[in-house]
Structure 1
Amino acid sequence: MPQPVETLLARIRELQDSLQEELEEKRAEFRYRIVSGRARFEDEVLARHRALKVSLLAFLASPRPLFILTAPAIYALILPLALLDLFMAIYQAVCFPVYGIEKVRRGDYVFIDRHQLAYLNGLQKLNCVYCGYANGVIALAREVAARTEQYWCPIKHSRRIADPHAFYGNFTDFGDAEGFHARQSGLRSDLRRIRGR
């Protein structure tokens, strides 16, 4: 009989599969396909997108002045994000082979594709590149940290956390000393078998 956590994890996987099916339906609805890693819209759709693009001057004329003043604070984060990206690569290259943990594929998390949309002006495209990079690096770091946590400390917290990572459901319960010692080796072995998460 499956454990409640295993049942929930199986349900989550089913929901993720359903989400992927929904995304495939949206591709058909918005009439594009992926060719060599890039979205390709039908010519008619592409022409409509170009017609809907707001010019850069009109775009800059519309925001409140405070929006423009906050831009340096937003873009200043590129330095720590780039350093985080670099350190995640070094950390995985040095530590994961030693621990026998399957490395996280950066390309599964850092997506830069929205700049391909013809209905965005240059500044909007730059913003989309930045957000895709920032959120991708943070998601990558979360996955690296999650695998590290499963290796070293696969124990649930004593209270509810807002958004647990995908491995968290398999961790031993807080206070279950016997379970921790019995399952730690198996949870470490699981990390060697991760493929294409």
Structure 2
Amino acid sequence: MTVKLAIIYYSSYGTNYEMATIAAETAKAAGAEVRLLKAPETAPADVVASVDAWKAHAESTAGIPEATAEDMEWANAYLISAGTRFGVMASQMRAFIDTLGGVWSKGGLANKPVSAMTSAQNTHGGQESTLLSLYTTVMHWGGFVVAPGYTDEVIFKTGGNPYGYSHTQGAKFTDEVKLAIGHQARRLVEIAGKLSGSDA
């Protein structure tokens, strides 16, 4: 069985979009079938339009499909990336997750590996608590948390977060950052492949 990976992100200004794109490229190279998807925007259109960077990012990514319950049923692995807001995931991602009761109730989210990434405006802006809160949801699904842990030395070089890659908004996407995101994506694909009996 091929690894079918749904990479679902929410991004106001582009940071988590960039992270998700890097992960998607790596996962495809590792043999996975990938759907790059965004959580639907819940902020009013006039609010988005009132912030130049937010509006510009929304317009530049308008062609990326919004994630649906069908995508969650299709996938046998998930990589979720969303910024932190007051120590938990952005409300847009939470709102999407809260639409999945129907899929969850029939076991459609169970027994699937899940990994997560996040970002914040400053280094200690709640990244770890955001990832842990998302993994709590995964446990309710009956999914398997696939954190990067300390399974590659690049983790130590990019902040040392064992729960998932976290990016400081405005920081450059260096080669080491790309390696850290890529390592997490490949690890997820590898574990998903083992669970599904795939060679991916």
Fold shared, TM-score > 0.5 on shorter chain: no
State the TM-score, normalized to the length of structure 1.
Answer: 0.23
Structure with greater contact order relative to length (CA < 8 Å, sep ≥ 6): 2
Work out which of the two has the higher radius of gyration on C-alpha atoms and give 1 or 2: 1
Q: Which has the higher helix share?
A: 1
